[in-house]
Structure 1
Amino acid sequence: MTTPAAQNPATPETDDAGPADPDAAVAAHHGDPPAEQRAMARAAAVVDRGHRDVLAVTGEERLAWLHLLLTQHMSELGDDTGTEALILDAQGRVLHHAAVAHTAGAVYLDTEAGDGAALLDYLTKMVFWSKVEPRDATAELTVLTVVGPDTPSVLESAGLPVPAAPHGVAPLSGGGFVRRTPWPGKDAADVVVPREEADRWWSTLTGAGARAAGSIAFEALRVESRAPRLHLDTDERTIPHEVGWIGPAVHLTKGCYRGQETVARVANLGRPPRRLVQLLLDAGDEDLPRTGDPVVRDGRTVGRVGTVVQHHELGPIALALVKRSVPADAELTAGDEDRVSPATIDPNSYEADSATPPPGRAARARAKGGPGAGS
């Protein structure tokens, strides 16, 4: 979606400029990023997320087949229901994250821009004799996202269905669907429409009361919501437990998917080596840290900077993966070279480890009569 007011800074082309902007293909803002954030927080705004790749899986065995491949419980996913799901490697590390919608005889998976081809290749190789047909639907469908507490009224005013929160889905008669989501912000809905009708739906949604907003505002509220984003807030070692995807995207009581052993072992016998936290940055007028920069404590690297944003109320903040041993009140720095900023962990983002041992470890202790036997 590109309107006359839409703007997007140039994509970095050199290593000195930092990593390339994954949202370069869509508008970064529409003239006033802080005001766009405020609209998302207090009313409603609409963001073009049409650079996301969209896959569709049809066929009578689609749910049972996906149940064997995805981390989410798919076999009983009801009609007109959404969720999130992952694809893991054999060691349980995250390869793909997708938002899911099951509606109108198909399961739709929308994922990060550029990831769709690899995900489709994997799914296609796993078809064998199953009665399923995965395909690339990116040329057919595009994603517009409405964010803010007024999301239901905007959808209604635009003549769209208002699915039940937080994961309801409603099909559209002309193709596509509306999917409620629990983040970012207080309410949100993905309006997935035929790509050739994107301009019309953008005008309809802004006419229904949603302020035009860009990816800068969306990312700021996502970071505030502590919702991780693949490739930005994860690295090649990330397992689901570290970033809060157990529950939203991983179902612990199902099996039969690649990487399940690691998921079960960490859930039952131990705790993940890192945790996702929100950092409050004291950057002042200096350059902000970048994705991939180190988080340092007492001269030692203890983590990795993820998404960095300027929040309209909190100022500069970031998501970061830090070692589990880092305490909530640690004095940290984030960044590298001339962009190092003092940083503190937002205590609201730090979930202290329970004194109760994981269930598997407690069971072992009970069996041996050792510490934790009375838990």
Structure 2
Amino acid sequence: MSVFAGRDGFVASEAGPAAHYGNPVGEQRALAAGRAVVELGLGVVTISGPDRLSWLNSITSQLLTGLAPGASTETLVLDQSGRVEHAARVVDDGEVTWLLTEPTDAAPLAAWLDSMRFMLRVEVADRSADLVTLGRFDGSAAPDDVVVEWVDPWSSVTPGGWGYAALEAHPGSDWTLRIDVVTPDTAVALAESGAPVAGLLAFEALRIAAWRPVLADVDERTIPHELDWLRSAVHLSKGCYRGQETVAKVHNLGHPPRRVVMLHLDGSDGVLPVPGTAVELDGKDVGRLTASALHHELGPIGLAVVKRSLDPAATLTLTVDDVVVTAAQETIVPPEAGATANVPRLPRLGAVRRS
């Protein structure tokens, strides 16, 4: 149960933390302005031992060797075909590497990591039940006695990464999320102090508006390029790891088969499509909604993964029960993303070159 359950207006989400406290839009404004904190309910996995960073570097997408104590980054676990299996926010305190992931992914991630230890000097532990994760934005003070803090790198393209979205006026440039890992006692003290709090609905709206991908946007086919995740979670020149060949091939020579867009949803009927809703053009399925929320300035918005070939100017529809909701696209990953190597086409063997 959430330590904030006693606060006035508390309405629980399916994951346990508050969905809201009675005023999602007001909470969203306070959270964005750095006047509130949000209980995120993330999973926490720790890795200890002298081989932890070099080992994690060899099996995930980010360059982690030499990660300085206190520095934050993000990494992905990919399958052999480059599809995303796990995602983790990473910070090392000099003795332990901390991985923050979605609550349902902590146990699977810890189990997979444990299976990959072999003879290396590492120990993996799922600490999710022992700790609380609190999110806040610049302007808010850190709680007392923070165990470790993760600073989101999403505001700019990280070293070794690549951004497919336009660099000018990227909405993520103002994304200043910090996640504080604290003990339950510290969280209880904060809850009892009367400090302003926001729910997950407020956080989700801000995340969507910043085009910030998380594991909830992933399905069984997702590769990092489709969500513009090379921006913060992939190092393109770090060397081999599982799935690296696909990452390099798509980025250098090909195009991601799908791409993420932000949808501006028509709110005239007061209907907000839920994640998983099919996105259609002229009655044909062209993608799926991965997230949706009511933003305090933009109104109803969502993220959707659509076919690469989809016309960016096309008006889309989503059907909720018998209500058809129209949606305008805002391009995040453009159709031409990828093929960065600009390899010249070679003439076919035996072809005659004409002047």
Kept after mapping to 2: 8 A contact 1:281/1:341 = yes
Please state if 1:314 is matched with 2:294: no
Q: Which residue among 25, 31, 47 is the counterpart of 1:40?
A: 31
Most deviating of 254-263 and 112-121: 254-263
Q: Which residue among 64, 67, 84 is the counterpart of 1:77?
A: 67
Q: 1:191 is matched by which residue type in structure 2?
A: D
TM-score using structure 1 length? 0.81
Q: 2:345 is matched by which residue type in structure 1?
A: A
**What SS does structure 1 have at the residue aligned with 2:275?**
coil
How many pairs were matched up? 328
Task: Tell me the equivalent position of 1:190.
Answer: 179
> Structure 1 residue 251: deviation in Å?
0.9
Task: Tell me the equivalent position of 1:67.
Answer: 57
Please state if 1:119 is matched with 2:109: yes
Q: 1:276 is matched by which residue type in structure 2?
A: V
Report the Cα distance in structure 2 between the residues aligned to 1:107 and 1:30, rounded to whole angstroms. 33
Task: Tell me the equivalent position of 1:26.
Answer: 17
Q: 1:97 is matched by which residue type in structure 2?
A: A
Report the Cα distance in structure 1 between the residues aligned to 2:305 and 2:121, rounded to whole angstroms. 40
Report the Cα distance in structure 2 between the residues aligned to 1:294 and 1:119, rounded to whole angstroms. 29
Q: For 1:42-191, what aligned pairs fall within 5 Å after superposition?
A: 42-49=33-40, 51-147=41-137, 149-151=138-140, 154-155=141-142, 176-182=147-153, 186-191=175-180
Report the Cα distance in structure 1 between the residues aligned to 2:10 and 2:104, rounded to whole angstroms. 22
**What SS does structure 1 have at the residue aligned with 2:230?**
coil
Please state if 1:217 is matched with 2:202: yes
Taking a change above 3 Å as real, the CA distance of residues 200 and 301 of structure 1, as seen in their structure-2 partners, is: same
Please state if 1:261 is matched with 2:245: yes
TM-score using structure 2 length? 0.85
**What SS does structure 2 have at the residue aligned with 1:28?**
strand
String of CA shifts for 1:138-164, please: whole Å, max 9, x gaps: 1332101112x413xx23xx5x6xxxx
Kept after mapping to 2: 8 A contact 1:30/1:214 = yes
Report the Cα distance in structure 2 between the residues aligned to 1:350 and 1:258, rounded to whole angstroms. 24
> Structure 1 residue 307: deviation in Å?
0.6
Q: 1:296 is matched by which residue type in structure 2?
A: E
> Structure 1 residue 296: deviation in Å?
0.7
- Note the residue ranges of structure 1 that are not aligned, 5 or more in a row: 10-20, 161-173, 370-375
Report the Cα distance in structure 2 between the residues aligned to 1:96 and 1:357, rounded to whole angstroms. 26
Q: 2:91 is matched by which residue type in structure 1?
A: A
Percent of matched pairs sharing the same residue? 39
- Aligned-pair Cα RMSD in Å: 2.3
String of CA shifts for 1:49-83, please: whole Å, max 9, x gaps: 1x211010010111110011111111121121111
Kept after mapping to 1: 8 A contact 2:133/2:182 = yes
Report the Cα distance in structure 1 between the residues aligned to 2:264 and 2:19, rounded to whole angstroms. 23
Q: 2:278 is matched by which residue type in structure 1?
A: P
> Structure 1 residue 236: deviation in Å?
0.9
Most deviating of 185-194 and 309-318: 185-194
Report the Cα distance in structure 1 between the residues aligned to 2:54 and 2:339, rounded to whole angstroms. 34
> Structure 1 residue 352: deviation in Å?
5.6
> Structure 1 residue 193: deviation in Å?
0.9
Report the Cα distance in structure 2 between the residues aligned to 1:223 and 1:247, rounded to whole angstroms. 16
- Note the residue ranges of structure 2 that are not aligned, 5 or more in a row: 155-171, 350-355
Kept after mapping to 1: 8 A contact 2:131/2:182 = yes
